[in-house]
Amino acid sequence: MSPTTRSPIPSRHGVLRRSLGAATILSALALGACNTQTATAPLSPPTAHTALAQPPALTGEARDKEWLKQAPQGNVDPKIARTTVDYKTSEPAGTVIVVTKERRLYYVLPDGKAVRYPVAVGHAGMAWAGTANVDRKGEWPDWNPPPEMIARRPELPKRLEGGPTSPIGARALYLAEGKKDTLFRIHGTNEPEKIGQAVSSGCIRMLNADVVDLYERVPIGAKVVVR
């Protein structure tokens, strides 16, 4: 698998602090989850006031299993659920194609096939179209709303640690044009009930289980076509 950007794993105290904070702002996070960049440094840990040993932090598959259980759950119509389909395109295998009118994302396979995923797309006036490349990838990334979003919703946090209640979900693919960040992402969601709708601030939202699947398939540098 290609190199990835991983968010720092919080301590037990960090998980409690994040959960409490997320509960108070969860209703304010419905606008979309595009961020400016993934934070590279963890928050300062709380001062220890006990000699009791702390449990080891969850990592890798154990973290994914636990956090995916904790994340908001939603039922998706089986008619639009992830599946492999016949798909004619001139794009080579390994390309990601987002068809916003269909609210579907296709990962092109060899021999005229593709994996089709249901997605949520940008609402009117917020959608983006074009060709980009996957510049970097992140697992359970922190959410850093861009200034434009904070200007519209000043109650939003400037930073929210990655985790099961984060609006950016379990994985994120960061899109760039000519190495310039587009500020648009393909990422998970904490609102699975909105998959199949045009609701985001421009980013492409996926079910957390689906974005984990796509993340494993797509290397850094992969071509992404949004139309």
- Main-chain phi, psi angles of 193, to 5 degrees: -70, -15
User: Do residues 202 and 32 make contact, with C-beta atoms less than 8 angstroms apart?
Assistant: yes
Q: Which region, left, alpha or beta, applies to residue 16 given φ > 0 means left and ψ of -120 to 50 means alpha? A: alpha
203 in Cβ contact with 34 (< 8 Å): yes
Report the distance separating Cα 216 and Cα 88, nearest Å. 23
Q: Is 183 left (phi over 0), alpha (psi -120 to 50) or beta?
A: left
Handedness of CA 209, 215, 34, 93 (dihedral sign): negative
Whether 203 is catalytic: yes
| Candidates 13, 34, 123, 203; catalytic one | 203
Element (H, E) at 161: none
Rounded Cα distance, 89 and 87, in Å? 6
C-alpha 164/C-alpha 193 separation (Å) is 16
- Residue 13 known to be catalytic: no
Catalytic center residues: 187, 203
